Structure 1
Amino acid sequence: MEKHEEIPILVTGHYLLRGLTENDAEDLFPMLSNQETMKFITPHPAKNVTEICEEIRDSLSKYHQKKEIPWIIIDKETNRFIGMFRFHKLNLWHKKAEMGVVISKENQGRGVMTEILPVLLQYGFSEMHLNRIVGDIFSGNKGSKKLLEKNGFRKEGTLRQTDFDGEKYHDTIVYSLLKHEFHTLHQLD
C-alpha cells in the first residue's frame, strides 16, 4: 500500500473499481440515502449530499492514514456507479482488514460481488500483503453469507444483538479468510 499515492484502479470483466473522490457525493446520494439498499449496513441512511461529502472526507483521511481503502464500483457498459467497496479497520502491522460493501438496490443479486470479490481478495492478499480479511454481516443477510462461504470464508461465530436499527437488535456473524486459505483455494504461491 505504501507504494501507491493514489487509490489503485482494479478492473474485472464488467466492472471498474476506482478510488472514491469528493466529486462522487452527488452520484452516491441516491444509493446511500435509500433505506432498502442500506438495510444491512445502517438504520440511518444519508439525509443529504453534505452528509455524504463529510463521510467521503473522513474515508479519504483514513486512506491517507493507511487505515482504509475506498473504491467506487462502476459498470463498464453503462459507466454508472453501482456500488462501493472498502477495506476498512485496516491494520498493516497485524496485516488485517475488514470489508465494507454497498451495492445499489437495482444491482443487488446480479452477481456484482461474485465477479469483483476474487479480484479484491487477490489485491488484499498479494498486493497489500494482508494475512486476514474479515466480513461481518447481519445474520439476516443471506446473500452476503452465501457469497462469503462460496469464496472460502469461514464462520468464526455470532455476536449477539450487536446492532440496533431503531426497532430491534440484530446479531452479527463474523467470517474470515486467511492468506494461506485463499492461496490454497486459488493454487497460488
Structure 2
Amino acid sequence: MNHIPVFVMEKIKMRGLKISDAPSLFQFMSRPDTMKYITPHPVLSLKEMEAYVEERLAGFRKHTEIPWVIENEEGECIGFFRFHKWNLWHRKAEMGAVIHPKYQKAGIMTEVLLNVLPYAFDILKLNRIVGDIFAENEGSRRLLNKFGFREEGVLRETDFDGERFQDTVVFSMLKKEYEQVKQTFDQ
C-alpha cells in the first residue's frame, strides 16, 4: 500500500495523516481530559506531537499501521483514527481513536466505523479487528456493541492512569461476524 485512502462522509472526511497536522492534533491530544482513556501522559509539546506523527507515518511505511486524520465539513482537524498492530500475515489490526471533546457523542465514530470496517474486511482482507478499551469507557463500549464487536474478556489492571490501575476490556470482530452484520450497516 502506497497511500492512505480518503473517505468522504456526510459530516466528516478521513484522510491520511501528514506532519503538518501536528499543531491541530496537539490542540486536543495534549489535553488530559481527552486522553484519559488512552494515556496518563498526553503529549506536552508540539515537538512531541510532531515526533508522534512521524512514528505513525513510519509505521505506515513499514505496513504496521494506517493513520488517518478526521476533519469536519470546514476542514478542521477534529480527530485521529488508526489501525495499528496491523499484521499482514495474520490479517489483523487494532483500532485506536481520539476525538476532540467538542465533537464527542456526535456520531463521528459511527461514521468512521461505517467506512473503515468495510475497508478493513473487504479491501485489506483482514480476518480480525480488535478494540481494547478501559473498562470505564462507556462511550466506546456502546459503540463497539452497536457494531457487533464481541467482548472477549477483561485484562485486569493492565494500565496505570497516574492514580490507579485500570482494567482493559478486549473487543473483537472477525470477518465471518462482519459478513453476518454488514447489511445492517447500510440501514
Q: Which shows bigger deviation, 178-187 or 103-112?
A: 178-187
Spell out structure 1 runs of 4+ moving beyond 3 A: none
Aligned with 2:172 (options 160, 171, 176)? 176
Q: Provide the TM-score with structure 1 as the length reference.
A: 0.95
Which of the residues 114, 118, 122 maps onto 1:118? Answer: 114
Structure 2 counterpart of 1:42, from 28, 39, 42: 39
Query: By how many angstroms is 1:23 displaced?
Result: 0.7
Q: Which runs of 5+ in 1 are unaligned?
A: none
7-16 vs 88-97, greater mean Cα deviation: 7-16
Aligned match for 1:153, one of 129, 133, 149 = 149
**Out of 35, 58, 62, which is 2:59 matched to?**
62
Within the candidate set 86, 89, 103, 1:90 is matched to: 86
Counterpart of 1:88, as a letter, is H
CA RMSD of aligned residues (A): 1.1
- How many residues align? The count is 184
The residue number in structure 1 matching 2:131 is 135
Give me the whole-angstrom Cα distance separating, in 2, the residues matched to 1:30 and 1:111.
Answer: 21
CA distance in 1 between partners of 2:178 and 2:139 (Å): 20
Tell me, in whole angstroms, the C-alpha distance in 2 between the residues paired with 1:8 and 1:131.
20
Identical aligned pairs, as a percentage?
Answer: 48
With structure 2 as the length reference, what TM-score do the two structures score? 0.96
Match of 1:53 among 35, 39, 50: 50
Name the residue aligned to 1:75: 72
- Report how far residue 70 of structure 1 moved: 0.1
Larger helix percent: 2
